[in-house]
Chain A
Amino acid sequence: MPLDTSAYSLALLRVDGRRWNELRRIHAQIRTQAAADGSSYFEMGHTKVMCVVNGPSEPGPRRGGTAAAAPGGGQSKDAEVAVSIVVAGFSSVDRKRVGRGDKRILELQSTISSALTASLHTHLYPHSTINISLHVLSQDGSLLAALINAATLACVDAGIPMTDYVAACTAGSTSTYAANDESADPLLDLNHQEEQELPGLTVATLGDSDRVAVLVCESRVQVGRLEGMLAVGVDGCKQVREILDRVVREKGRRMLQEGTVEKGVGLDEMDMD
C-alpha cells in the first residue's frame, strides 16, 4: 500500500497525525520477570519488544543447544555480549515465520551486541557471557531502536555497570529519494508505513551526550538531507533517554518504598525524583 505523502505539505501532519518532531507513545517497564537477572518490556507505538538478560555468567556445564555453542567469553578478558532475537510469527500483520539464521536478524543482533559492548563495562567480567535475548511481539517500524532501548533497560535491571544509557530512535525525511525534493523536512520516529516508503535511519546515542553509538541507514537518501535527519534523530534519542531514565528511577523508588532493596549509602545523595 503506497503511502500518500502529498498531504503532508498541506497540514504538516503525518499519516498517524503526528507532527514532524513528535515521538509515538513510549511505554516501558523494567523487572518484568522474576527468573531472569534483568528484564524489560518496551513499547514504541505498536512496536512491542521484551528483553531478558542472563548473566554475566561464566560458562557452566554445557546445557546443549546453541547457547552453549557460542564461542568466545571463555578465554577473553572482556565479557562477551551474546544477543539473540526471536521474532514471533504473529508480530507482523501477515504471519511470517522468520528463521533464526535470517540475515537481517543476524545483522540486528551484531549491531546491538557491538553497541552494548561499547557501553557496558565488560572488562569487569572476564571469561563470562552476558546473554541478552530479545523477543519481538509486535512490529510497526523502528524495530532496531526499540530493541536497543529494551536491551539497555534490561541491562540496567541486571545491574551490569555501564557508562550511560544507549538510547535509540529513528529519523526520516518527508519525501522519497526519487522525488529529490530540496525542501523535504526531517521526520522523527518512523512507523512501519513510513519506513517502507521514505528514507530513514536509526541512530543511538550515549546518554545525554551527542556521541553516536549506532547509526544504521538502509535506504537511499540524498547526502544533503542526512544532516537534518541525523540532528532530528539525535534530538529524539535525548527524549527517549529521558523516558528511559524516568522508568528506571520510578522503578527504583518503588523498590525502595516496598523495601525490596535496602537503601544504600550512595542512594541518599542521589536525586530520586
Chain B
Amino acid sequence: MASTQHVLLSPAELAYLHASLSLTPPIRPDGRTPTQFRPLVAETGILPGTNGSARICFADGTEAIVGVKAEVERTKLSRVGPADELEGTRLVGDVVEGLAGAGGTENITEKEEIATNGADWVELSVEIPGYRDDDAGTAFLSAMLAEALLADGEFARKLYINRRFHWKLYLDILLISPPLSYPLPLLSLTTHLALLSTRLPRLKSEGDEDPFFDDDWAAAPYLYPRRKGDSGKATSKPPVSLLVMAVGNSIIFDPSKEELAVADVALAVSIGEALSSSSTSLGKKATTEDAMNLDDGEGRSLRLLSVRTIDPPSRLTPPGVPNATNSAYGAATATQKQPEARTAELEAVEGVWKAPRGGAKPLVMAALVQKVLEKGGVADEVLDALDAVDLV
C-alpha cells in the first residue's frame, strides 16, 4: 500500500532528488534539515466516550485519530509454560519475572500467566480510507504498531486486574486524510499520545473477587502513571516508531513520499523509554541492545524495541537510460530491443537513475539505528515534543 504506492516522478527527477539528498548536508525538497520532523498539531482527550484519545495533524495535511477503549475480560487459564511460546512473549515473561524480583514462586507463575496471554489483551486495528482493512499494507502497519507496544514488556502487566480478570484494550487507529506519505510515524505518534491519555477506572475490589470499580472518573488512574509533583509527566512511556531512511551517506528522518521514492533503505525503528530498573535485565537478553542502551544520568534512557525494514517504493521505479545507450542520442540500436531491461543490469552511470538493488548493508543499518538512539537526537526531540502536549 502506501509504502509501495507509485510516485509520478521521471527517472531524471528521481536522479536529481537522489543526488540532492546524498549531498552533505542533504537538501530536502521541503527545506527541512535531515533530522527535522514535519511540524504537527496535536491534541488529546478529544473524545469523552473513550478511555483515551488523541488527534495529530501533520503540516502536510495528513491527520489521524486514535481512540482507546477498554473492557474487562475473563482471563483464560492456560497452564502452558513460557518455554513453548514465541520469542516475543518469552521476552515479556522474562522482563516481568525480572521485575517481580525475588518474589515467591507462586507469584512468578502468576506473572507468567500475564506474559503468555499478554498478546491477546491488546487489539489494534488500523483504518485507512480507500484501502480494505485486510489489505496487506494495513495489516503490516497494525502488526508493526502492536509489536512495538508489546515488546515494551511491561505493557501487559498494566492490564492485569487479578488472576481471573484483565483489561482488554482496543486501539482503533483512524487515518482521516488520504495517505499522502507512508503513515507510520503519524499513526505511531498519535497512538503514543492516546495511550498516554488513557485512564482506566480505579479498582475497588481486592484479590481475586469479581472486579468492582470506582465510578468516579476523576479518580481513575492513568494507564501510564504520572510522576507526582514534576508537572505530572508520565514515569514510563508507550513506544514510538520512527521512519528513517538512508540515501547514499545521508540519514533522513520522517521522509515524505517523494523522498521515500529514492530511498536506498527505509527502516521503521520502534523505541521505548527504559525503566532504570528493568534496563539491566533486558540488556542481558539481547546482546546487540546492550550497546544501544544509552544511560544518561538525569535524562531518559532510550531502548530499542524493534526494527523493521520497509520496502521502499524506489525498488519499483523505472531506471533511466544513459545517453551512451539511448538511441535518441545516436547509440547503436540494432542489438537492443528493451533498452531499460538491459541498462538495469549495467553499472551505475553518474546522473542516471537506477533503482536500488539488493539488501541494506549492515553498516548502514547500524548507523541508522545508532542515529535514532543518539542522546539528544531525534528520538529525544520527538519524545520531548510529545511531552509538551497537555493531557486532558
In the assembled complex, how far is the CB of residue A105 from the closest CB belonging to chain B, in whole angstroms? 13
B interface with A by C-beta (< 8 Å): 1, 5-6, 8, 47-50, 53, 57, 59-63, 65, 67-69, 71, 125, 127, 129-133, 135, 170, 172, 174, 176-178, 180
Q: Pick from B50, B61, B68, B130: contact of A36, CB below 8 A.
A: B61
Distance of B199 from chain A, by nearest CB (Å): 14
Residues of A contacting B6 with CB < 8 Å? 61
Q: Quick one: which of B1, B48, B62, B71 contacts A64, CB cutoff 8 A?
A: B1
Q: Does A29 contact B (CB under 8 A)?
A: no
Take A33-B177, A65-B132, A89-B170 as given contacts and tell me if A48 and B61 are in contact as well, using a CB distance cutoff of 8 Å: no
Q: Is B69 within 8 A of A66, CB to CB?
A: no
CB-defined contacts of A93 to chain B, threshold 8 Å: 49
List of A residues within 8 angstroms of B5 by Cβ: 63-64
| A138 touching B49, Cβ below 8 Å | yes
Interface of B is mostly: loop
Contacts of B180 in A (CB 8 A): 35
Q: Mark A73-98, 1 if CB is under 8 A from B, else 0.
A: 00000000000101011111111010
Q: How far in angstroms is the closest Cβ of chain A from B120?
A: 15
Contact B125–A52 (Cβ < 8 Å): no
Complex-state Cα separation, A208 to B63, whole angstroms: 34
Q: What would 22 A/B residue contacts be, using CB atoms closer than 8 Å?
A: A33-B61, A33-B63, A33-B177, A34-B60, A34-B61, A52-B176, A52-B177, A54-B178, A61-B6, A63-B5, A65-B1, A65-B130, A65-B135, A67-B130, A67-B131, A84-B130, A86-B129, A86-B174, A88-B65, A88-B67, A92-B49, A137-B67
Count of A-B residue pairs with CB < 8 Å: 95
Interface centre among B6, B131, B135, B174 (most CB of A within 10 A): B174
Distance in angstroms between the alpha carbons of A93 and B172 in the assembled complex: 14
Closest chain B residue, CB of each to CB of A133: B129
Q: Quick one: which of B57, B61, B172 has the most chain A CB within 10 A?
A: B172
How many Å lie between the Cα of A12 and that of B45 in the bound state? 35
Q: Give A203 Cβ to nearest chain B Cβ, in Å.
A: 26
Chain A interface residue count, Cβ-Cβ cutoff 8 angstroms = 33
Residues in B whose Cβ lies below 8 Å from that of A138: 47-49
User: Main SS of the interface on chain A?
Assistant: loop
Chain B residues closer than 8 Å to A61, beta-carbon distance: 6, 8
Separation in Å of the A251 CB from the closest CB of chain B?
A: 17
Contact residues in B for A84 (Cβ distance below 8 Å): 129-130
Q: Are A89 and B69 also in contact (CB < 8 A) when A36-B177, A61-B6, A65-B131 are?
A: yes
Alpha-carbon separation in the docked complex, A92 to B172 (Å): 12
Chain A residue nearest to B172 (CB atoms) is A89
Q: Which chain A residues in 27-67 approach chain B with CB under 8 Å? A: 33-36, 46, 48, 50, 52, 54, 61, 63-67
Question: In the bound complex, do residue A137 and residue B63 qualify as a contact, i.e. CB atoms below 8 Å apart?
Answer: no
Chain A neighbourhood of B49, CB < 8 A: 46, 90-93, 138
Are A97 and B125 CB-contacts (below 8 A) given A33-B176, A52-B177, A91-B49?
A: yes
What's the minimum C-beta distance from B237 to chain A, rounded to whole angstroms?
22
Residue from the set B53, B170, B176 with the largest chain A CB neighbour count within 10 Å: B176
Residues in B whose Cβ lies below 8 Å from that of A65:
1, 130-132, 135
Question: With A and B bound together, what is the CA distance between A61 and B6 in angstroms?
Answer: 9
Nearest CB of chain A from residue B127's CB, rounded to whole Å: 5
Interface residues of A in 135-190 (CB under 8 A from B): 135, 137-138
Closest to A66 in B: B132
Nearest CB of chain B from residue A160's CB, rounded to whole Å? 17
Name which residue of chain B comes closest to A70, CB basis.
B130
